[in-house]
Amino acid sequence: MKLFSDHLIAEACREMHVADLGQATIGEVLLVAQYLEQKTGQTFIRMDQGSPGLPANRFGIEAEKAALDRGVGAHYPAAAGITELKEAASRFVKAFIDIDISPRACIPTTGSVAASFAAFIATTQRTPGKNRVLFIDPGFPIQKSQLRVLGIEWREFDIFPYRGAALRDKLEEELADGTTAAIVYSNPNNPAWICLEEEELKIIGQLATSHDVIVLEDQAYFCMDYRRDLGHPYLPPFVPTVARYTDNYILMLSSSKIFSYAGQRAALACVSDKLFDRHFPALAERYHDTGIFGPTFIASILYMITSGCTASTQYGYAEMLQLACDGKINFVEDTREYERRAHRMKEIFTRNGFHIVYEHDVTATVGDGFFFTIGYQDMSGPELLCELIAYGVSSISLSTTGSHQRGVRACVSQMKEEHYPVLEERMRAFNEDHKLRKK
């Protein structure tokens, strides 16, 4: 039996000014869920927002507090970032990805959202005629919202039918007209948790070079492919990356998930050294500077957006990166709780008639981690989202992420021990109700 009537859900949407619940943003779904909780006292199983569900790393907290005690709060941070963080970032990239990027090209940003916003500007302005962005979807909806703000055009395709070698022909087709400035994807993927394999990363890298496209690789869930024994500094296996196959890349590394440091909004844009030093006349003409990509990206674009990353947070981030490189903290084990949650939640859903939508990578079953995707019978994503809301479970439709598949994204971060029996009870009722309807 439903927890919330159609009438009450419609009231929640009306009061929260949500025009179309099936296509709602994460924030809109959250507002509806909160309204229904407050109205009825029924607790929601929250699978909507991807906010960390673990405590912030204590070493970062202590280092940040110490920095404030030293007085760093009284001074503006350098636009390019503090030396300690830039050096720690360069070391971290070498330790866990086995890629060499100099400290000067590791740039602190106020979260990866700021990094991608600035990168969209720089990449689409560097060469006349190259002014579009290509998304390998499904992906993070906020990045397309950024392009709407900037007035930048984009193309997109769902990778679901183009895994492995098939990706080459699809990318060649998308890049053929020469207007693409940048390619964007996350790896592991938000929302599907698929992971691009080496063959696919090589294809992307080779075509980025041949078509002079810059790859924006979002590593928000760094080392969180728990199927592999990642997270040991300077030892293989290393994190897969397009950076092995092209010099046209910017890696975005966030502290939000791997160190549960989301509240401090700290990330890094790690730019290939060769790209950092490339001269673009169009940038020089627009910004009246040297037109060298790295300095323009930092001083003429990124600084205009955030005026630098908070100084004390940079010291906290630097400390966590250094300790990880020294093997004194194991951030992979710290976050492995997400793997356990996903495994238990998937079992509940599949036991009650649901199926995993993005179930396979090229050579393996998709792992358990921060997100997973579920479908039910032949329901569309918007339809399933609305039905789940009625049973006290919030999610987002895959259709809002560029996916062409039927289903919703589930985030595990807010799941607590006492929620599992509640989820089981509600999904059992959901399945019984909908099996009857199907008959």
Q: What does the alpha-carbon distance between residue 24 and residue 21 come to, in Å, rounded to a whole number?
A: 5
Our CA angle for 350, 353, 357, nearest 5°, is: 60
- Model confidence at 436, pLDDT cuts 50, 70, 90, reads low
Q: Which residue carries 């030396």 as its tokens?
A: 83
pLDDT band for 135, please (50, 70, 90 cuts): very high
Closest residue by Cα to residue 218 from 120, 88, 341, 319: 120
Exposed (0-12), middle (13-18) or buried (19+): which is 261, by Cβ within 10 Å?
buried
Nearest 10 degrees: Cα torsion 352, 355, 360, 364: 20
Q: Using the structure block, give the residue that is written with the tokens 């199907």.
A: 438
Share of the chain above pLDDT 70, in %: 99
Q: Tell me the DSSP string of 215-262.
A: EEEE-TTTT--TTS----TT-SSPPP-GGGT-S-EEEEEESTTTS--G
pLDDT over threshold 80, residue 437: no
Question: Confidence class of residue 439 from pLDDT cuts 50, 70 and 90?
Answer: very low
Average the pLDDT over 273-299 and give the result. 98
Rg, the chain, Cα only:
22
User: For the segment 329-358, what is each residue's pLDDT rounded down to a tens digit?
Assistant: 999 999 999 999 999 999 999 999 999 999
pTM of the predicted protein model = 0.95
**pLDDT tens-digit profile of 64-86?**
999 999 999 999 999 999 999 99
Domains and CATH numbers, the chain: 6-42+336-438 (3.90.1150.100), 58-325 (3.40.640.10)
Q: Which helix (H) or strand (E) holds 162?
A: none
Q: In this predicted model, what pLDDT tens digit does every residue of 253-284 receive, in sequence order?
A: 999 999 999 999 999 999 999 999 999 999 99
